[in-house]
Amino acid sequence: MAGDKLTWKAIRGDSRARIIGGSAVGFVVLLVVLLLTLTTCGGGGGTGARANTGDDDRDKPAKGPSEAVLTVAPKDGADDVQTSGVLEVQAAKGKLTKVTVQDAKGAKVEGKLAEGGTVWRPATHLAAGTKYTVDAVAEDSEGRAAAKHAAFTTFVPQNTFVGYFTPENGDKVGAGMPFSVNFNRPVAHREAVEKAISVTADPEVEVAGHWFGNQRLDFRPEKYWKAGTKVAVDLNLSGVEGSEGVYGTQRKTVRFTVGRQQVSVVDAKKKTMTVTRDGEKIKTFPITSGRPANPTYNGRMVISEKHEVTRMNGDTVGFGGEYDIKDVPHAMRLSTSGTFIHGNYWMAKYQFGKVNGSHGCVGLFDMRGGGANGTPGAWFFSHSMVGDVVEVENSQDETIKPDNGLNGWNMSWEKWTAKQ
């Protein structure tokens, strides 16, 4: 009985007890067996959990390095790299899964995969004098990835060209306004330069470019822009070889908006002008146009400049000393050769609508010096914007040439879009 009492005291946790009875020894043995059994049966983690994962992992070989081999041209660290025809990423014994090329500002270069996904090339030229980084990833037939990083810098050209354009960024213009670029040097590689200029519109409409000679490129849709159209132009000319050894330097985005669609029809025979805005006739004025010896051009002309007051001298447009008129009010240019629609204060008011007496311009009755004076000339000036269209019909002259001003609308869409 003494042994049993001592064992009971030990189980109760009496630290002063001395376990000497057989029952206590048996209890300890029982605890050890239970612990061994729990460990052997698995339960949680540790060694037991890994031991029961099966034989699949042991049968698979360790995943080794990818067999895909990546190469980047030009080589890492290269300088004076050409802007076209050099950049290329290749994968041997694998396929490319990701290629990122970007400049120091994070602007990415778009590209295309070719040859079954083993080659990547840029979709366009690179900018001049720019550092680029290349990061590429390829996978072999086992899905193992290989990566490569490289950097290079394009060359700085010695001979350059730029384009001067209209309209400017942020302008609001009339529905006849093309996007017109005049280059300061002749362009021999016109296709490459045209490809580097993207013109898009919202609402969407096809826009095409047409060259007038080798220094002017205009873009327009088939028909006048719709009112409210938003136009975006991407001038990506930096690095484009315009002529042998002559490269572009511009990288610019231009946005402009079409305010409304206003078309004013001048009937030289009836001597009237009818103003239509967004399909609604809003005004008709008596006018004077070119006299029989100097008739006004027929055709569609776009207002390219506005001057509240100007001076008109015949010497500047090939008429010698036939006229020199100061303080001409409300003048708006229609052609490079000197055709304007403007206010006229030197003819009697009753002659408008009855006499064609100008040297080729379209005249509206007005007061000298301009201003908001309530005359037809003042009204038309204040209700017109650059890009509005003036169409002249029934004149005894020829149709104005498409490149005489911003007047490409006098060329059919078929001719405008024909390969040059």
Which residues are known to be catalytic?
342, 361
Residue type, 9: K
* 190 backbone dihedrals φ, ψ, rounded to 5°: -65, -35
Q: How far apart, in Å, are the Cα atoms of 5 and each of 12, 14, 350?
A: 11, 11, 141
Tell me whether strands 340-344 and 362-365 are parallel, antiparallel or unpaired. parallel
Secondary structure class of 361 (helix, strand, coil): coil
Distance of alpha carbon 44 from its chain centroid, rounded?
61
Largest interatomic CA distance in the chain: 148
- Structure-block tokens of residue 193: 């330069």
Q: Where are the alpha helices (DSSP H) in 12-68?
A: 22-40, 46-51, 56-59
Q: Give the H or E element holding residue 71.
A: strand 69-73
Cα–Cα distance, 316 to 113 (Å, whole number):
57
Q: Where are the alpha helices (DSSP H) in 288-375?
A: none
